[in-house]
Amino acid sequence: MTSDTPATSDTPAGSDSPARAVAAGYATDGAALELGTVLVDGVCDPQAGVRIPLATLNRHGLVAGATGTGKTKTLQALAGQLSDHGVPVLLADVKGDLSGMARPGEPDPKIDARAADTGDDWTPTAYPVQFLSLGDGGIAVPVRATITDFGPILLSKVLGLNATQESTLGLIFHWADQRGLPLLDTKDLRAVITHLTSDEGKAELKGIGGVSSATAGVILRALVNLEAQGGDTFFGEPEFDPADLMRQIDGPDGPRGVVTLLQLAERAAHPVLFSTFLMWLLAELYEELPEAGDLDKPKLVFFFDEAHLLFADASKAFLERIEQTVKLIRSKGVGVFFCTQLPTDIPNAVLSQLGARVQHALRAFTPDDQKALNRTVKTYPRSDVYDLESALTSLGTGEAIVTVLSERGAPTPVAWTRLRAPRSLMAAIGDDAVRESAAGSPLQAKYGEPVDRDSAYEQLTQRIATGPGEAATPVEAPTAPADAPPPPEQERSGGLFSKIGEFLSSPTGRQITNTVTREITRSLFGTRRRR
């Protein structure tokens, strides 16, 4: 059967109707997100609910569909319900229209009709939202990452490097790590590469794996181009702590999850940066969060918008790391939803791990579109109710073909679903309102002002200024006031602190100290492991 006739909620449906039979596969005992109701032959049955169990959200999902089919509203509705259940959410607000989540929705005849079709007691609702921007110059709280913590693999994706250049960048990071040169911002990395390609540093460059000056020069030019596009304001300190994504606030019915909106309109000219930043956040969460096992609901749900940007032109090693991170992070209680236009934008190895599928309409205007449609149909369970190839091109706005994992972990029947309307405002609230909200955020004091502390750039500059034959001016230790009493330990004969100080001042002590402080362990993605 297909749904080619206008939908109406007035046609009666019995308990043995095809719609109720499909909906029976979505019955849950625990808490769930309500997606909408089943359509069959143009009839929407308000009693045939389609839902996603909260306990299966760490099995990840996909929201896909052509432009204008309602993907953004689907994300908005899912994020609002998650917040109501106390689950924090991260959303990339690429176009700025998700900012309306901070305001209650406005009643409208279309919303009333949609609520009647989907059996929803629709109530205007505002959600706790925190607004973030990538680096300085945005309209929200600036978030940054240091070059060292971002790591060579993710940075290579941002810079558009090939596999050879990525390997070279990894060696440069290793050289800086071993010499205790902190790479905090782009000028630090630029200073290191400039030093290694200079007459003074060429010997060191040859000693880290035969890196060619030409390859190092390509990396340096790519870095300069990134700075010219404004990417340099993102790298630096204070570095964003992913734990700030997992906030809750008290609500009238219990804790509500904070919705973090990453405002990206000002980064539209450099989309690879924000997609790779989202992957960095995911990698950091994987490294930092403890094992959680099976939970009644996730700790955080991560919506990865414009996901095709992450996978485009990615190396095989990079794709393998994404696949492994997505596979392993479910045990940390984090759910990931990839959002894109075509399911074929997601590599098969990642797509096979996504338990929930919300597929909005596809367009088949070209032979390539038709191939993508055929491949998409083959990824769904067989349906006795719908002709999926016809259905996927016939969906109306705010409708989707859905299949998820049931509470027992089995795929649910394919359901042509009329989706619920978001309860928050389905429009942007304006830049001034976002700025006002960000200014009052507790994160503003933490991340608002950049910090430029002593790092590789300053240390290499000082080395050049003092010259190879001169020692750099040592930093003097602070002196205690003249009338301050000595510490109790030093009043004793042969005080412990005195002996420790003598040891640390010795050549052996300095060598041990340098080894400890310079050792940096890197994770699967080459990011620095803080633990």
338-355 residue pLDDT tens: 999 988 889 988 998 999
Q: Give the separation between CA 229 and CA 241, rounded to whole angstroms.
A: 25
- Residues 6+ positions from 476 with CB-CB distance below 8 Å: none
Question: Among residues 393, 417, 440, which one ends one of the domains?
Answer: 440
Strands 43-53 and 32-40: antiparallel
Which two tokens mark 438? 């960000």
| 217 lies in the same domain as 104 | no
Into how many domains does the chain fold?
Answer: 2
Q: Inform me whether the pLDDT recorded for 305 exceeds 90.
A: no
Same domain, 258 and 120: yes
Give percent of the chain with pLDDT exceeding 70. 84
Mean pLDDT in residue range 136-164: 91
Starting at the earlier edge strand, list the strands of the sheet with 259-263. 43-53, 32-40, 415-419, 399-403, 356-359, 61-64, 334-340, 300-304, 89-93, 259-263, 129-134, 141-143
Burial (CB < 10 A; 0-12, 13-18, 19+), residue 458, is: middle
Pairing of strands 254-257, 248-251: antiparallel
In a shared domain, residues 129 and 248: yes
Q: Which of 27, 74, 72, 71 is nearest to 48 (CA)?
A: 27
Question: How far apart, in whole angstroms, are the C-alpha atoms of residue 13 and residue 8?
Answer: 12
Three-state SS sequence of 111-153: HHHHHHHHCCCCCCCCCCEEEEEECCCCCCEEECECHHHHHHH
Q: Among residues 11, 298, 309, 264, which one has the least CA distance to residue 160?
A: 309
Q: Which distant-in-sequence residues (6+ apart) come within 8 Å of 229 by Cβ?
A: 269, 270
pLDDT band per the 50, 70, 90 thresholds, residue 197: confident
pLDDT of amino acid 96: 80
Does residue 108 fall inside a structural domain?
Answer: yes
Residues 123 and 154 in one domain: no
**Of 106-110, 306-310, 515-519, which gets the smallest average pLDDT?**
515-519
Q: How far apart are the C-alpha atoms of 527 and 410, rounded to whole Å?
A: 35
* Tokens, residue 238: 């204070």
Under 8 Å between Cβ of 135 and 174: no
Looking at the structure, tell me whether residues 181 and 225 fall in a common domain.
yes
Q: Which long-range contacts (CB under 8 A, 24 or more apart) does 496-505 make?
A: none
- Are 329 and 303 part of one and the same domain? yes
Residue 134's Cβ-count burial label (10 Å; 0-12, 13-18, 19+) is buried
Residue 52's pLDDT band (boundaries 50, 70, 90)?
very high
pLDDT at 12 over 50: no
Does 518 reside within a domain? no
Share of the chain above pLDDT 90, in %: 54
Sign of torsion, CA 461 464 465 466? Answer: positive
Decide: 30 and 269 in contact? Cβ < 8 Å: no
| pLDDT for the residue numbered 202 | 78
Q: Which two tokens stand for residue 251?
A: 């609500």
Q: Tell me which amino acid residue 194 is.
A: T
Following DSSP, what letter does each residue of 247-291 receive, concatenated?
Answer: -EEEETTEEEEPEEEEE-GGGTT-HHHHHHHHHHHHHHHHHHSPP
Per-residue model confidence (pLDDT) at position 371: 87
Among the three residues 477, 493, 523, which one is the final residue of a domain in this structure? Answer: 477
What is the predicted pLDDT for the residue at 211? 77
pLDDT bucket at 514, cuts 50 / 70 / 90: very low
Q: Which residue has the higher pLDDT, 240 or 484?
A: 240
Nearest by Cα to 78 from 275, 314, 259: 259
Tell me if 291 is assigned to some domain.
yes
pLDDT the model gives residue 10 = 42
The pair of three-digit structure tokens given for residue 365, joined into one six-digit string: 């205007």
Residue 360, domain member (yes or no): yes
Higher pLDDT, 11 or 525: 525
522 within a domain of the structure (yes/no): no
Give the per-residue pLDDT at 512: 43
Phi, psi at 41, each rounded to 5°: 55, 40
Question: Residue 1: its pLDDT value, please?
Answer: 44
Q: How confident is the model at residue 14 (pLDDT cuts 50, 70, 90)?
A: low
Residue 420 has pLDDT above 80, yes or no: yes
Any idea what DSSP says for residue 313? T
Contact 165, 202 (CB under 8 A): no
State the pLDDT at residue 466: 72
φ and ψ of 238, to 5 deg: -70, 140
Do 233 and 248 lie in one domain? The reply is: no
Which domain, by its residues, includes 266? 18-137+244-440
Query: Averaging pLDDT over each range in 78-87, 190-199, 271-280, 457-466, which range is the top one?
Result: 78-87
pLDDT at 124 over 70: yes
Verify cis geometry, omega within 30 degrees of 0, for the bond prior to 238: yes
Structure tokens at 487: 């510490």
Whole-number mean pLDDT of the chain? 84
DSSP for residue 104: B
Q: Please report the pLDDT score of residue 523 as a whole number.
A: 64
Of 76-85, 150-159, 398-407, 486-495, give the lowest mean pLDDT range. Answer: 486-495
Say whether both 327 and 380 belong to one domain: yes
The amino acid at 49:
G
* Model confidence pLDDT, tens digit, residues 201-231: 877 877 777 678 889 889 999 999 988 887 8
The 8-class DSSP code of residue 506 comes to S
**Higher pLDDT, residue 81 or 16:** 81
Give the lowest-confidence range in 99-103, 460-464, 474-478, 503-507. 474-478
Query: Are both 316 and 254 inside the same structural domain?
Result: yes
pLDDT at 318: 82
pLDDT digits (tens, 9 = 90+) for 85-101: 999 999 988 878 899 99
CB contact set of 23 (below 8 Å; sequence gap of 6+):
37, 38, 45, 47, 48, 49, 50, 415
For residue 132, being part of any structural domain is answered with yes
| Same domain membership, residue 465 and residue 416 | no
Residues 163 and 54 in one domain: no
Could you identify the residue written with the tokens 């004091």? 445
pLDDT at 410 over 80: yes
Residue 5 · residue 25 · CB < 8 Å? no
pLDDT value at residue 363: 85
Per the model's pLDDT, the better-predicted residue between 496 and 129 turns out to be 129
Report the range out of 6-10, 77-81, 180-184, 305-309 with the highest average pLDDT.
Answer: 77-81
CATH label of the domain that carries residue 363? 3.40.50.300
Domain edge (last residue) among 440, 468, 488:
440
d(CA 366, CA 357): 24
This prediction's pTM: 0.84
Report pLDDT for 268: 58
Tokens coding 388: 């999926």
Give the per-residue pLDDT at 109. 95
Residue 390 in domain: yes
User: Has residue 140 got a pLDDT over 70?
Assistant: yes
Same domain, yes or no: 165 and 85: no
Q: How far is CA 370 from CA 71, 102, 211, in A?
A: 21, 39, 46
Rounded to an integer, what is the distance from CA 342 to the centroid of its chain? Answer: 19
**Average pLDDT of the segment spanning 143-158:** 92
pLDDT in tens, 355-392: 999 999 998 888 888 888 888 898 888 898 999 999 99
- Mean pLDDT on 34-40: 96
Q: Which residue has the higher pLDDT, 287 or 518?
A: 287
3-state helix, strand, coil in the chain (%, to 5): 45, 15, 40
Does 180 fall in a domain?
yes
For the stretch 306-322, what's the b/e string if a residue is b when 16 or more beta carbons lie within 10 angstroms of its beta carbon?
A: bbbbbbeebeeebeebb
Asked if 190 and 226 touch (Cβ cutoff 8 Å), the reply is: no
Identify the H or E element spanning 443: helix 442-447
Asked whether the predicted pLDDT for residue 310 surpasses 80, the reply is yes
